Amino acid sequence: MAIDSTRFCINRKIAPNLDIETFFKLVQRLGLNKVELRNDMPSGKVTDDLSHEQVKALAKRYGMEIITINAVYPFNRMDDELLSRAEGLMKEAQAIGARALVLCPLNDGQPISADKTIAALQKLAPLFKRYGIEGLVEPLGFPQSSLRSAVQTQALLRDAQVPFKVLIDTFHHHLYEKAEQEFPNGIDINGIGLVHLSGVEDTRPKAQLTDEERIMLSEKDVLESVAQVRRLEKMGYRGIYAFEPFSSELANWSEADIEREIHRSIQLLQA
């Protein structure tokens, strides 16, 4: 494959101990220019102790494009508190120049009906339009997730008549048992807004895997993320790939470790 470097993005989850400026510098050293910020970092804030203006200025200084803020959870259990939090993140996204906001479904074993999910999407859509932010819905493949299927997610978006796109995650694709049955002929490649990449070497059954096992790509990756990317490319996807490992071991990685792992993952994808 030959994927242009401008299509690679680095999720801040890979660098939990780096402040935002140091993170931007690291990404710049890699020759990349896209990042995802989060609201679940150690500080508990998207921008840590920086103002929105400071983050926007740092992004400009280091040539960074902020692709998303992760994430509104659980978007499909709609109430006034959730709506308020979602609007707050949209305001932040607008203030720092982020392009999109990620929406994640309830993931605690409680089912959420299609009708309730559609209603939540329809309630959120006008806010996204007001703030000029794109919505990306990320199905979670965990057995306890209320929305596991990317194909079903796209169907719900169509039924809701909202302009959101689906976020494909190679980890969550692997966890959902029917993904390979549904995906090849059921997915609308033009309705994919972003792809998250990670790798897992743990060989336990899928149902036992958690975010703790998610590292970067390798030859031993049971998710077969490289093969997933090859298929997406063959199907015509030309969007962004964001590296999003999750393991707590990332907290022990040095900047050199992070750079090495990103380089190795990109090389695997370009082979």
- pLDDT per residue as tens digits for the range 26-69: 999 999 999 999 999 999 999 999 999 999 999 999 999 999 99
**From residue 186, how far is each of 46, 113, 152, 191, 203 by CA, in Å?**
35, 21, 9, 11, 28
- pLDDT per residue as tens digits for the range 143-163: 999 999 999 999 999 999 999
Which band of pLDDT confidence, cut at 50, 70 and 90, is reported for residue 262? very high
Which band of pLDDT confidence, cut at 50, 70 and 90, is reported for residue 187? very high
The predicted pLDDT at position 1 comes to 75
The predicted pLDDT at position 271 comes to 86
Give the CATH number, domain containing residue 93: 3.20.20.150
pLDDT above 70 as % of the chain: 100
The predicted pLDDT at position 240 comes to 98
The predicted pLDDT at position 193 comes to 98
Number of domains in the chain: 1
- pLDDT per residue as tens digits for the range 85-122: 999 999 999 999 999 999 999 999 999 999 999 999 99
| pTM of the predicted protein model | 0.98
User: Residue 22 is which amino acid?
Assistant: T
- In 3D, which of 52, 150, 186 has the Cα closest to residue 37? 52
Question: Is residue 79 over pLDDT 80?
Answer: yes
**From residue 109, how far is each of 56, 88, 145, 146 by CA, in Å?**
38, 27, 6, 7
Averaged confidence pLDDT in the chain: 97
Domain that includes residue 21, residue range: 5-270
- pLDDT per residue as tens digits for the range 222-247: 999 999 999 999 999 999 999 999 99
